[in-house]
Structure 1
Amino acid sequence: MKNGIISSFLVVIFAIGCKKAYKSEVNSSEKVLYEVVFRENLAGKYEKWPTGENSFEFYYTYTDRGRGPEYSEKITLNDQNFISKQTIKGVNYRKVPVDEKFSTGNSAATWSNPKESTQGDFYGSELYFRYDGSPAVYEILARLLITSPDKKVELYPRGLAELVEIFPQTLSDSISLDLLMIKGLDMNPTYLWMDGNEMVASISGNLHVIREDYKEKRTALKKLQDSVEDVYLMDITQKLTVPINKVVIQNVNVFTSEGKLLPNQDVFVDGETIEAVRPSAQKKIPENTRIIKGEGKTLMPGMFDMHTHNSKFRGLLHVAGGITSVRDLANNKQLKTLSDQFNANEIIGPRIVTFCGIIDGPGPYANQRNVINNLEEGLAEIQVYKDLGYDQIKLYSSIKPEWVKPMADKAHELGMRVCGHIPSFMTASQAIDQGYDEIQHMNMLFLNFLSDTIDTRTPLRFTMVAQHGANLDLTSKEYLDFVDLLKKNDILIDPTISIFENMFVSQKGQPSPTYNTIMNRLPIINQRAFYAGGLPKNEETAPLYKRSHDNMLNVVHDLFQKGVDIVPGTDGLPGFLYHRELELYEKSGIPASEVLKLATITSAKLTGVSEEYGSIVAGKKADLILIDGNPVDTISDIRNVEWTMKGGNLYYAKELYESMGIQHFN
């Protein structure tokens, strides 16, 4: 890895200097201010200030389309610089109230968070890591890691964080900072920019927290961090890629495009191509052929996630979960570069088979990736996306209804599809009449039966459906006419039903049913996110919200039965959420074999790549996954991916997961 591990000698010298700097900073009375930038727009702020010896207060907030957290936080440190007392009040990203407490005394700790209210032994040398709150704990952790002899810090009540590497960086004006790479918190490494012993910036995907005096250097810091991240991922790719030449998967059960299992087959692969599929022992295995035993297991085509937002870190999760092809339904305009990295195996990731450019209108709830101010700008953006090689455009909630038809007409003239959210103050039926080819998210269908006066730019697009979705009558004329409209116009529906299970059904303080099966396999931060409870609920609304989600499942099944095209997509955690999406389709009443067809050959046909992908047939590309079990009989076996084959390379799921701090299924 470039830059190497910094020498222990240098770390010790650095740590001694930081210890002194920390004490002087704590005693300072000045408030330190940070900007919070989300999707390249100023979205909030982070403030910290001392209130006494080893005591601080913090305020943190940002907004994202009507969502976003707001926390007021108080922390006291002990003599070892570990947290001895902490209170956090406010609301989380989905506006669920937060009231978290931690306190210590007499070799014991008491805490109350979304998961539990309890106590345990505490001797002062472990770091309590909150569920929700400001970036404060990351800065405290960084200081502790810098001074730790083994560069590790025990987390409380469980967990371990490790300082993997310090990357000294010099900016163009000769300012020197250190970029810390920390593992053990999240599936991806946590990166922090430090100036001596104080956090200058935290850059994580689209969310950037940057100290005010460094705000003009934010893009430079991001560029430097991107290079470090790329080297890290390229190193993983080199270590975990197994190039293949001639391979036979022997005596395996093959899932066919008809939705059946062909038992006891030998599947011959030559590089990237399926050479033959024959009953076991019918064809002699050539010399110098790698043999993979497949007894009792299922060989499937690589699956298609039809609603993703890709990043370089998400690629590993897709491939580990058996997903080799994806549609990207909104990203930045550099997506082709990431796709090239995936395809060249510079970074492990899926094949992006559909590129979709997002366009939103102006206003306080705009999706900040690409905002237009008038129709002329919108028409120009469609041309820009076409020139970049994109296949379709996605219209978002702040698009003015009167812009939809001319924008759809422009896209269709260029041979592009039109999809998206239904713009605010518009119904799905109206959007279809004005040119939509597909609709994202099941809530957008349910909103069709409520009112075109709802400001669906806001979280009302979720809460109104949660409150009224249970009442949608699938035998009513209004609903049946809408289904006829979908069929008449060949509208594709992308339900993302699993994200609504997490919103509508999960309860604060309890494991989300969406992630319960896998959450204990994940790093600590990921586990904790699944206790948040989705939308705010009380004893009255919780049963109602669940009935609304049950009715969403009824609609998924009904649309499938009536011949409306539906496709499995996630819009969330790659791999794991996709598996849950398939489980919920089966729960709705769709047979498992049909669900697996949707995930493979049907999605391949709908994306126009079925000549090469989506089924296991001689002459097609060898995008393959080996499943320990039989998902046709038990759909949840789809989680048991042993390996994924893509582009002439083999990737073992266990190794991919371990690189992210995730336990394998077995």
Structure 2
Amino acid sequence: MKNQLYFALLFLGFVSCSDAPKLENEKGEKTNYDVVFREKLAGKYEKWETADNSFKYFYTYTDRGRGPEVTEEIKLNSDNYIISESITGVNYLKDSISENFNGVDGSASWKNPMSEDKADFNGKALYFRHDGSPAVYEIIGQLLTASENSKVALYPEGEVELVDQYSITLSDSTSLNLLMIKGLEMIPRYLWMKNNEMVASISGNLHIVREDFKAFRKELQSLQGTYEDEYLFKIAKELSNKIDKVIIKNVNVFTPEGTIVNNQDVFIEGKKIKSIKPSKGKVLNGTAQVIDGTGKTLLPGMFDMHTHNTKFRGLLHLAGGITSVRDMANNKQLKQLSAQFDNNEIIGPNIVIFCGIIDGSGPFANQRNVVDNLGEGFAEIQSYKDLDYDQIKLYSSIRPEWVKPLAAKAHELNMRVSGHIPAYMTATQAIEQGYNEIQHMNMLFLNFMSDTIDTRTPLRFTMVANHGADVDLKSKEYLDFVSLLKSKDIVIDPTISLFENMFISKKGVPSPTYSKIMKRLPLIEQRAFYSGGLPKEGDKAALFKDSYMNMLNALNDMYQKGISIVPGTDGLPGFLYHRELELYESAGIPAAEVLKMATINSAKITGTSDYLGSIEVGKNADLILIDGNPVENISDVRRVEWTIKGGTIFYADELYNKMGIKHFK
């Protein structure tokens, strides 16, 4: 269950390609695009001219019952800047959106989820909407290619830059331009253009392709991937600092027991911790690099136990102090990316657990590794085992009667089984039929509602939002369930921060999940966090909050009863992980215990505790330096100065700078 609102905004794009001349449509004639999500046709994007310099757009796609549906109208001035814009429809989570902008006679007024305001406007800056169609990106591409300094001012603030432009010839001899744009979001946005029209955007799992170019989509994806890789290879060379011998002097060390030992000298040689000794005020090894750790805390590299890795997200993990991750569902080429992380060709964490996903067919299928029958499910499990994967994740469209035999097959191959609870099934039933682990706190709460809920749909969120407050943590039903978790040694992966954003955030107000870091982020990420999560009107806001608070109560209760809990994000790397840890502490779990979950406990669960997860002589020197003491103030985990992984030190401020993010200092 990805934080899809964030990553749909992060990876939005558009596509098309052909040797045909620029489309000279008559007014009212539509230009049509396919919207492809996870390799399936998922929607459409349409644009057409309604009058001189006036255009209308329609954009929609579906993702397991979610997805936007937007109608947009734009009028441009003679310099191609927006002077009028209106947007209506629903966002990814199906909440209503309404936004407008008008700029005329030296002033502009606007109403969007962040504000309703007016200011001076000279018609030389581009208003950038919150939710909407891909139209604004095409306009940005046009403005940037015409700009003398390769920059365009945004309104009311911000700037985008054309970092690079590649002239590329396709296999049919069509010539296209690939634009690399920075300033909008944490990763570069790539736009394919021809004759000043948007031809294509290949962005993660979301591709928007003009119909006459859809046959070239995979070719465009491959070509763009080469340029993306070159960019990331360059960053890795620039920001990687190999270490030989290092002494971190007079630093406070977090122990495997969850305590702090003050004023220690930690000696690292290559990739290993060689010694840990009380600081005596002088350095005996004159050949070692000395790092002053006075007043700071040395932590083991942390584990994010629920990730979906891409080549662009690795920088965020390391900048946030996360050196090891479990990947909880990805494509079958993940081992290649892991090797690039391990070799530091691309900056990223150790992927210590590989989890393959399987879903059943149907209208709400996950769209990756979908099976139509049990035999195909067995074959998928075997294929993952052959790729040396460790775990199988079953998803919401798996038929309930398949769970027991699929789990048995995975266990036969020495693989763990986890996942969502399939539709029309309860968590209790899934555990009794072979689950070792459950993802997401909502899946636990659904256990107390019904086995008739179609959890393939957004009901898996809205049912818990509406009824989670009614789950009685003293009831026999709940206590029996927790006893089952304990007796079966079931691991819980709550991703509680996702539900704070869904249930608590309000439209037009900064989400509490991200409010501490929003101003550090680029434009699009900031705006995503004003959208308000699940639709909530009137008394629903209070009810949803009560349901969320009961989730926190259950989290603490499960901790108190000895249930294994692992911190993971399933969303924005680094920053969301920090929030996850803060929420565990706010639920009542002591900060030291939260940090143990993030380090040594996760290492034990992933089978890596012999060499990761704690600061001990002989273990790998995967370490982070914190400006503060997170045992006393858990939020200090946000104050990462540097991360060491695999014999290389990475400075957080440099990593963030490459992504257009401000450091905490």
Please state which band the TM-score falls in when normalised by the shorter chain: over 0.9
In structure 1, what is the Cα distance between the partners aligned to 2:553 and 2:284?
48
Contact 1:27–1:53, Cα closer than 8 Å, also in 2: no
In structure 1, what is the Cα distance between the partners aligned to 2:664 and 2:48?
45
Contact 2:22–2:195, Cα closer than 8 Å, also in 1: no
SS of 1:448 mapped into structure 2: helix
Contact 1:26–1:53, Cα closer than 8 Å, also in 2: no
Contact 1:302–1:624, Cα closer than 8 Å, also in 2: yes
Which string of whole-angstrom CA distances, capped at 9 and with x for unpartnered residues, describes residues 2-26 of structure 1? Answer: xxxxxxxxxxxxxxxxxxx999847
1:664 to 1:26, Cα distance in 2 relative to 1, 3 A? farther
Letter in 1 for 2:575: F
1:23 to 1:174, Cα distance in 2 relative to 1, 3 A? closer
Contact 2:27–2:50, Cα closer than 8 Å, also in 1: no
Tell me how far 1:444 sits from its aligned partner.
Answer: 0.2
Counterpart residue number, 1:53: 52
SS of 1:601 mapped into structure 2: helix
SS of 2:122 mapped into structure 1: coil
1:265 aligns with 2:264: yes
Letter in 2 for 1:269: I
| Correspondence 1:281-430 to 2 at 5 A | 281=280, 284-430=283-429
1:459 aligns with 2:446: no
Which string of whole-angstrom CA distances, capped at 9 and with x for unpartnered residues, describes residues 608-664 of structure 1? Answer: 000000000010000000000000000000000000000000000000000000000
1:408 to 1:343, Cα distance in 2 relative to 1, 3 A? same
In structure 1, what is the Cα distance between the partners aligned to 2:599 and 2:315?
19
Which string of whole-angstrom CA distances, capped at 9 and with x for unpartnered residues, describes residues 58-91 of structure 1? Answer: 0000000000000001000001100000000000
1:531 to 1:547, Cα distance in 2 relative to 1, 3 A? same
In structure 1, what is the Cα distance between the partners aligned to 2:529 and 2:27?
38
1:119 aligns with 2:118: yes
Tell me how far 1:281 sits from its aligned partner.
Answer: 2.1
In structure 2, what is the Cα distance between the partners aligned to 1:241 and 1:607?
27
Counterpart residue number, 1:183: 182
Counterpart residue number, 1:555: 554
Runs of 4+ in 1 over 6 A off after TM superposition: 21-24
Contact 1:26–1:54, Cα closer than 8 Å, also in 2: no
Which string of whole-angstrom CA distances, capped at 9 and with x for unpartnered residues, describes residues 166-190 of structure 1? Answer: 0111111111111100000000000
Letter in 2 for 1:277: I
SS of 1:621 mapped into structure 2: coil
Which string of whole-angstrom CA distances, capped at 9 and with x for unpartnered residues, describes residues 97-145 of structure 1? Answer: 0111001112111111111111111010000000000000000010000
Tell me how far 1:231 sits from its aligned partner.
Answer: 0.4
Counterpart residue number, 2:516: 517
Letter in 1 for 2:330: N
Letter in 2 for 1:606: I
Counterpart residue number, 1:566: 565
Contact 1:181–1:191, Cα closer than 8 Å, also in 2: yes
In structure 2, what is the Cα distance between the partners aligned to 1:185 and 1:475?
48
SS of 1:124 mapped into structure 2: coil
1:82 aligns with 2:81: yes
In structure 1, what is the Cα distance between the partners aligned to 2:601 and 2:543?
34
Tell me how far 1:566 sits from its aligned partner.
Answer: 0.4
In structure 1, what is the Cα distance between the partners aligned to 2:64 and 2:369?
13
1:615 aligns with 2:614: yes
Letter in 2 for 1:416: M
Counterpart residue number, 1:164: 163
| Correspondence 1:439-450 to 2 at 5 A | 439-450=438-449
SS of 1:360 mapped into structure 2: strand
1:138 to 1:22, Cα distance in 2 relative to 1, 3 A? farther
Counterpart residue number, 1:6: none
Letter in 2 for 1:453: T
In structure 2, what is the Cα distance between the partners aligned to 1:241 and 1:285?
27
Contact 1:241–1:650, Cα closer than 8 Å, also in 2: yes
Contact 2:591–2:631, Cα closer than 8 Å, also in 1: yes
Contact 2:22–2:197, Cα closer than 8 Å, also in 1: no
Which string of whole-angstrom CA distances, capped at 9 and with x for unpartnered residues, describes residues 456-483 of structure 1? Answer: 1000000000000011111100000000
Counterpart residue number, 2:9: none
1:193 to 1:303, Cα distance in 2 relative to 1, 3 A? same
In structure 1, what is the Cα distance between the partners aligned to 2:165 and 2:543?
50
RMSD: 1.2
Tell me how far 1:543 sits from its aligned partner.
Answer: 0.6
Counterpart residue number, 1:14: none
In structure 2, what is the Cα distance between the partners aligned to 1:186 and 1:283?
45
SS of 2:73 mapped into structure 1: strand
Counterpart residue number, 1:634: 633
Which string of whole-angstrom CA distances, capped at 9 and with x for unpartnered residues, describes residues 427-449 of structure 1? Answer: 00000010000000000000000
Tell me how far 1:30 sits from its aligned partner.
Answer: 2.7
In structure 1, what is the Cα distance between the partners aligned to 2:75 and 2:47?
13
Counterpart residue number, 1:198: 197
Counterpart residue number, 1:30: 29
Contact 1:27–1:52, Cα closer than 8 Å, also in 2: no
Counterpart residue number, 1:468: 467
Which string of whole-angstrom CA distances, capped at 9 and with x for unpartnered residues, describes residues 494-540 of structure 1? Answer: 00000000000000000000000000000000000000000000121
Tell me how far 1:323 sits from its aligned partner.
Answer: 0.1
Counterpart residue number, 1:220: 219
In structure 1, what is the Cα distance between the partners aligned to 2:521 and 2:219?
32
Which string of whole-angstrom CA distances, capped at 9 and with x for unpartnered residues, describes residues 230-268 of structure 1? Answer: 000110110000000000000000000000000000000
SS of 2:507 mapped into structure 1: coil
Counterpart residue number, 1:5: none
Counterpart residue number, 2:6: none
In structure 1, what is the Cα distance between the partners aligned to 2:364 and 2:238?
43
| Correspondence 1:89-104 to 2 at 5 A | 89-104=88-103
In structure 2, what is the Cα distance between the partners aligned to 1:628 and 1:26?
59
Q: Structure 1 length as normaliser, TM-score? A: 0.96
In structure 1, what is the Cα distance between the partners aligned to 2:21 and 2:591?
58
Give unpaired runs (5+ residues) of structure 1: 1-20
Of stretches 494-503 and 29-38 in structure 1, the one that deviates more from structure 2 is: 29-38
Counterpart residue number, 1:583: 582
Give unpaired runs (5+ residues) of structure 2: 1-19
In structure 1, what is the Cα distance between the partners aligned to 2:284 and 2:568?
38
Which string of whole-angstrom CA distances, capped at 9 and with x for unpartnered residues, describes residues 576-599 of structure 1? Answer: 000000000000000000000000
Letter in 1 for 2:660: G
Contact 1:322–1:625, Cα closer than 8 Å, also in 2: yes
Contact 1:152–1:160, Cα closer than 8 Å, also in 2: yes
Tell me how far 1:285 sits from its aligned partner.
Answer: 2.6
1:114 to 1:149, Cα distance in 2 relative to 1, 3 A? same
Counterpart residue number, 1:17: none
SS of 1:610 mapped into structure 2: coil
